[in-house]
Amino acid sequence: MKTRPYLSLEDVKKIAAAAEAEAVANQWAITIAICDDGGHLLWLQRLDGCAPISASIAPEKARTAALGRRPSKAYEDVINGGRTSFLSAPVLKGMLEGGEQIVVDGHTIGAVGVSGVKSAEDAQVARAGIAALS
């Protein structure tokens, strides 16, 4: 039988705290979503002042990164590169930059999705959260 790492509640809390700290340090009102490798939501946190729609977008970015095993920006790039038919891909709804997969020992164990500021800034917050696991 094979074994692999997985996200514990303690891990999720570390990621969320680091992501929140990055957002607060930059005065960004964002939503943080963390999911497991199957795209199931484990954490959702909307900071004060963040637009309500971000609470729907962030989990979808995380889910896309987890299920696709790559940053959600990869799908945005494919679509912007002209392959608009990819918009019909089933299940994936968060094909925008800001979803980053969590990789441990070569295994994608989940993802962080962030929404609320510019896409590159969303991704920055997600990566800051993930870095807390190191």
What secondary structure, in 3-state letters, does 76-93 show?
Answer: HHHHHCCCHHHHHCCCCC
3-state DSSP helix/strand/coil % of the chain, to nearest 5: 45, 20, 35
What is the share, in percent, of the chain residues with pLDDT greater than 90?
93
**Ordered structural domains, the chain, with CATH:** 9-131 (3.30.450.150)
pLDDT band of 16, cuts 50, 70, 90: very high
Q: Exposed, middle or buried by CB within 10 Å (0-12, 13-18, 19+), for 3?
A: exposed
Report the pLDDT averaged over residues 101-123.
98
Rg (CA), the chain: 14
Report the pLDDT averaged over residues 82-95.
90
The three-class DSSP label of residue 103 is strand
What is the model's pLDDT at position 87? Answer: 87
- Mutual angle of helices 54-68 and 73-80, in 10-degree steps: 90
Report the distance separating Cα 125 and Cα 39, nearest Å. 19
pLDDT band of 92, cuts 50, 70, 90: confident
pLDDT exceeds cutoff 90 at 41 = yes
pTM of the model: 0.96
Give CA torsion, residues 13, 19, 22, 26, to 10 deg. -130
The three-class DSSP label of residue 101 is strand
